[in-house]
């Protein structure tokens, strides 16, 4: 059996070769929790071995994040480093690759007044918008990958000693990122090919809308004009084919911002703004969520007040209920993982790759614009999904959460 160090080396190779497909001479900027330094070093080594010219890490620390919320007043929390995100947006448009290493305490901000969380989140969303636009327009090759952060492991496995919990979390993460397979790179190529077949099927069918039926859900999601489905590996504007999420089990496209009707209930909690949001319910009329409720969801609900597009949908994604992430049986409290365990929707910004054209053209086709993009899970074993043509003819896509096409 491979050691942890050997498997981290394999994960780094998967990140660089499959996630990013880093090109010779390309620069890489990555964000990571400070605890992930050992993985960052292995990724840098793999990047330089592949011919990368510069790896620039930007580290975060949960303790410092919490300290700011505890000691800075409401007005101070309304400030965010716009200059940093403007620089990152410039780097992405100039061809730098982007990697996000995710992990931390999903309940970090519990106990912080919701108005402070909301103020900081709004400021962050405003400042981050140039970088978000560059990523949503797929300007460069990018990817996200999880890291077994000790605080995250404590939340998931509270009954285990910390070291044992971290090791258990790594075992799960290696499983869902296919690092535990004999040839992880080949396994990823085969998986991406399977997702590509679903994408081709959906793009050929050109459905007018999707209909979701399940527990607490009866929702019709119109699809943007000329929408394109994506999933697995895809080509960025710089011509590099990358896999934006590790793991990834979804195929996704852009809803029509004005053609969503009905009601929907979340199937899994959502970690957002350092809080755990449960029992999300939304009712849509004319594309707008005219009613939204959530348990423990103050920061989430405040985010939906960010701008006019925040209460409209920017993404609809289909995921089999038997995906490898779902099979772990864990609620990860991390969107990267949980969104790959269930079909999901996203409030806010739509991806340019799903609605071709310039910004104004995408808006006319039904794409959405917002400073936020918040995924939340609605799928599971009880969900049926139909594709609808404009004449209301139905085609079964999923039954009890599983693909039937």
Q: What is the DSSP string of 81-96?
A: -HHHHHHHHHHHHTT-
Per residue in 70-122, pLDDT (tens digit) is 999 999 999 999 999 999 999 999 999 999 999 999 889 988 998 899 899 88
How much is the pLDDT for 119?
92
- Asked if 126 contacts 371 with a C-beta cutoff of 8 angstroms, the reply is yes
What would the mean pLDDT of 292-303 be, rounded to a whole number? Answer: 88
Q: For residue 393, which phi and psi values (nearest 5 degrees)?
A: -60, 135
* CA 380, 231, 340, 365 torsion-angle sign: negative
Q: Summarize pLDDT for 162-215 with one digit per residue, the tens.
A: 999 999 999 999 999 999 999 999 999 999 999 999 999 999 999 999 999 999
Q: At what angle do helices 37-49 and 4-14 cross, to 10 degrees?
A: 50
What are 62-72's pLDDT values in tens digits?
Answer: 999 999 999 99
Q: What share of the chain is helix, strand, coil (3-state, %, to 5)?
A: 40, 25, 35
Residue 38: how many CA atoms within 13 Å on its side-chain side? 11
Report the pLDDT value the prediction gives residue 137, as an integer from 0 to 100: 87
The mean pLDDT of the chain is 95
What is the three-class DSSP state of 229? coil
At 124 the pLDDT is 93
| pLDDT (tens digit per residue) in 309-346 | 999 999 999 999 999 999 999 989 888 899 999 999 99
CA distances from 142 to 8, 42, 242, 244, 367 (A): 19, 18, 7, 5, 22
Percent of the chain with pLDDT over 70: 100
CA distance 133 to 148: 29
């Amino acid at each position: 059996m491979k050691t942890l160090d050997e498997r981290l080396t394999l994960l780094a190779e998967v990140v660089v070769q499959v996630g990013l497909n880093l090109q010779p001479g390309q620069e890489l900027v990555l964000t990571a929790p400070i605890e992930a330094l050992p993985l960052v070093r292995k990724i840098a080594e793999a990047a330089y071995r592949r011919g990368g010219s510069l790896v620039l890490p930007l580290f975060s620390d949960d303790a410092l994040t919490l300290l700011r919320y505890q000691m800075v007043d409401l007005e101070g929390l309304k400030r965010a480093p716009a200059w940093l995100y403007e620089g990152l947006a410039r780097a992405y448009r100039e061809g730098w690759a982007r990697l996000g290493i995710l992990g931390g305490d999903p309940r970090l901000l519990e106990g912080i007044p919701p108005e402070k969380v909301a103020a900081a989140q709004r400021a962050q969303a405003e400042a981050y918008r140039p970088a978000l636009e560059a990523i949503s327009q797929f300007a460069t090759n990018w990817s996200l990958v999880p890291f077994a952060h000790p605080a995250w492991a404590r939340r998931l496995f509270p009954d285990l000693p910390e070291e044992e919990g971290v090791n258990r979390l790594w075992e799960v993460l290696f499983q869902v990122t296919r690092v535990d397979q004999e040839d992880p790179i080949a396994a990823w190529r085969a998986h991406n090919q399977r997702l590509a077949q679903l994408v081709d099927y959906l793009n050929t069918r050109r459905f007018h809308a999707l209909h979701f039926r399940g527990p607490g859900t009866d929702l019709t999601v119109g699809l943007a004009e000329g929408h394109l489905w994506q999933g697995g590996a895809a080509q960025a504007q710089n011509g590099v084919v990358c896999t934006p999420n590790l793991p990834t089990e979804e195929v996704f496209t852009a809803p029509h911002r004005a053609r969503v009707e009905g009601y929907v209930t979340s199937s899994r909690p959502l970690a957002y703004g350092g809080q755990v949001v449960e029992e999300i319910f939304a009712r849509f009329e004319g594309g707008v969520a005219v009613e939204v409720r959530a348990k423990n969801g103050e920061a989430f609900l405040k985010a939906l007040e960010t701008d006019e597009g925040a209460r409209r949908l920017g993404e609809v994604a289909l995921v089999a209920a038997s995906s490898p992430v779902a099979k772990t049986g864990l609620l990860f409290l991390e969107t990267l993982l949980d969104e790959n365990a269930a079909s999901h929707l996203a409030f806010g910004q739509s991806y340019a790759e799903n609605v071709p054209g310039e910004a104004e053209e995408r808006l006319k086709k039904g794409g959405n614009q917002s400073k936020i993009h918040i995924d939340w899970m609605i799928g599971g074993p009880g969900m049926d999904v139909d594709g609808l043509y404009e004449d209301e003819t139905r085609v079964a896509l999923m039954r009890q959460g599983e693909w039937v096409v």
